[in-house]
Amino acid sequence: MRNNFYNKEGIHLSVIQKEPLWTKSFIMLMVGNLFVFMSFQMLIPTMPPYIQSIGASGFEIGLVTALFSIGAILIRPFIGYLLEYKTRKPLVLVGAAALLFITMLYPISKLVLVFLLFRFIHGLAWGWSTTVNGTAAVDVIPNSRLGEGMGYFGLSVTIGMIIAPSLGIFLFQATSFTNLILLSAALGVIALILLAIVQYQTPNSVKNVKKEELTFSLKDSLIEKTSWFPAFITFMTSFGYGSIVTFIVIFGEERGIDQIFLFYLLNAILATCSRPVAGKWFDNHGPKGIVLFCSFLTFLAMWVLSFAHSSLMVAIAGSLFGIGFGCLIPTLQSWALSMTPANRRGVTNGMIFSSIDLGIGLSGIVFGAVASFFDIETIFQISSVFLISALPLTVLYGKKKVVREQQTISS
C-alpha cells in the first residue's frame, strides 16, 4: 500500500510500505501522557470558581490562568535547549514528578496570594512536562506516519483536556476541592509509573551533540523560524478557546444549565472519533484543507454555545467543538513539526505549547478584564473571531508562499 507524506522541507514524498507505529514505547508513552493530562486538566475548570469562593476578584480569577501560562512560557526556552543535547527519559520523569508534587500542595492554599503563587509554579512544571513528552513522542513516531502518529498521540491530550474537566466539575460540585486534588494526585502517580516504563529514543543528531558545542540563546530556544506560521495560528485559536476555559462553568451557573459538563464530554467523544481521520488526511493531502475546515467548525461551535440555554445546545456546541478544535491543534502541531529539523523538534514543540499557553493566558487576562462590561454570551461571540482566524490567515499565507516560489523559479 502506498502512503503519501511530507518531509521536513515540506516536499511531498511516498513510500511503498508503512513503518510500524503501534510499538510498545509509543503506546505506553501515549497512555502515560493521557494520565498526565487527566491529572492536570480536571483541575482547570474548577480553579476559577474555587478561587472565587475564597474571595478573589474578577481580575484575580483571570490571573489564575495568566500566571500559570506565564510560568509555562518562561520555562520552555530552557527545556528546548536541554532537548538539543539531553536524553529523553530523565527529562520526562522530572516533569511528571514536579506536576505531582505541586498538585499535592493545593489543599493548603487558603489565601488568594498563595494560590496564585502555586499556579505560577504549576505552570513551570507544566511547560517542562508538555514540551519533553511531545518531543519524546515525535522521536518514536516514524517520519512517514508523523501526522497519523501525532493525531493518535494527540488523543491523549484531547481526552485529558476534555473528559477530565467533566470529571473535575462533577467532583467539585458533588464532593470537595480536597477530594478533587486527591484523585488528581492519584492519576499523577499512575502517569509517573507508566512513563518510567517507556523505552525512549533519542535522535543521533542529539546524542552526538555535546553541551559545550551549544550556545544558549533565548530567541533560538523560544522560536523555530521554519515553523512560525502554524505556531501563530495556534496562538490565535488558543486565545479564543481561553474564554471557554475561564468562563464556561460560571456561564452554566448563570444560565441554570446543570449539565454543562456535556460540552466537554461530547467534545471528547467527537475529537476521539475524528482525530485519526484528520491525521491520515494530513499525511496524504497536507495541512491546509483540514485547518480551514476545523477553523470554521470551532467558530460555529462558539456561537452555538453563546446562545445555549439548555443541555441540548451545550451538547451540540461540544460536538462541533470536538471535531473542530480537537483536530485543529494536533494538525497545526504536525504541520509545524513536519517543517522542523530533528534536532530542533524540542524547540518547535515548546513553541507550539507556549503558543497555546500564551493564547489561553492572555485570554484570561483580557476577557477577565472586560467581563465587567460584557456578559459571557458576548465574550464567547467576540472570542469566536479568533477561533476562525486560521481561515483567512492560512489562505493568505498560501498565496504568499506561491508568489515566493514563483519568484524563486523565475529568478
Residue 374, domain extent: 20-203+224-410
Q: What percent of the chain has pLDDT over 70?
A: 90
Is residue 13 in some structural domain? no
Per-residue pLDDT tens for 225-278? 888 888 899 999 999 988 887 788 888 888 888 788 788 788 878 887 887 788
Mean pLDDT of the chain: 81
Residue 364 is part of a domain; what is its CATH number?
1.20.1250.20
Coil/strand/helix, residue 62: helix
Q: Return the bridge partners of 15, or none.
A: 3
pLDDT at 94 over 90: yes
pLDDT of residue 251: 87
Is residue 8 in some structural domain? no
The average pLDDT across 343-352 equals 79
Is residue 1 in some structural domain? no
- 295 vs 56 pLDDT, higher one: 295
pLDDT of residue 194: 94
pLDDT of residue 215: 72
- Highest-confidence range of 69-78, 89-98, 289-298, by mean pLDDT? 89-98
**Dihedral pair phi/psi, residue 12, rounded to 5°:** -75, 130
pLDDT of residue 17: 58
pLDDT at 131 over 80: yes
How many domains would you assign to the chain?
1
Is residue 212 in some structural domain? no
Give 243's contacts (C-beta < 8 A, 6+ positions apart): 363, 367, 379, 380, 382, 383
pLDDT of residue 382: 92
pLDDT at 48 over 90: no
Is residue 159 in some structural domain? yes
pLDDT level of residue 125 (50, 70, 90 thresholds): very high
pLDDT of residue 15: 43
The average pLDDT across 316-337 equals 88
pLDDT of residue 373: 86
> DSSP letters along 231-286, please?
HHHHHHHHHHHHHHHHHHHHHHHHHT-TTTTHHHHHHHHHHHHHHHHHHHHHHHH-
Per-residue pLDDT tens for 277-323? 887 788 788 788 888 898 999 999 999 999 998 989 999 999 999 89
pLDDT of residue 303: 95
pLDDT at 35 over 90: yes
pLDDT of residue 9: 42
33 and 140 in contact (C-beta within 8 Å)?
Answer: no
CA–CA distance, 229 with 349 (Å, rounded to integer): 13
pLDDT level of residue 34 (50, 70, 90 thresholds): very high
pLDDT at 403 over 50: no
Is residue 172 in some structural domain? yes
129 and 320 in contact (C-beta within 8 Å)?
Answer: no
Is residue 29 in some structural domain? yes
35 and 188 in contact (C-beta within 8 Å)?
Answer: yes
The average pLDDT across 171-176 equals 82
pLDDT level of residue 338 (50, 70, 90 thresholds): confident
- 77 vs 403 pLDDT, higher one: 77
Is residue 191 in some structural domain? yes
391, three cell numbers: 481561515
| Cα-based distances in Å from 331 to 69, 267, 275, 373 | 22, 17, 9, 35
pLDDT at 406 over 60: no
Tell me the angle at which helices 146-174 and 112-140 cross, rounded to the nearest 10 degrees: 150
pLDDT of residue 162: 65
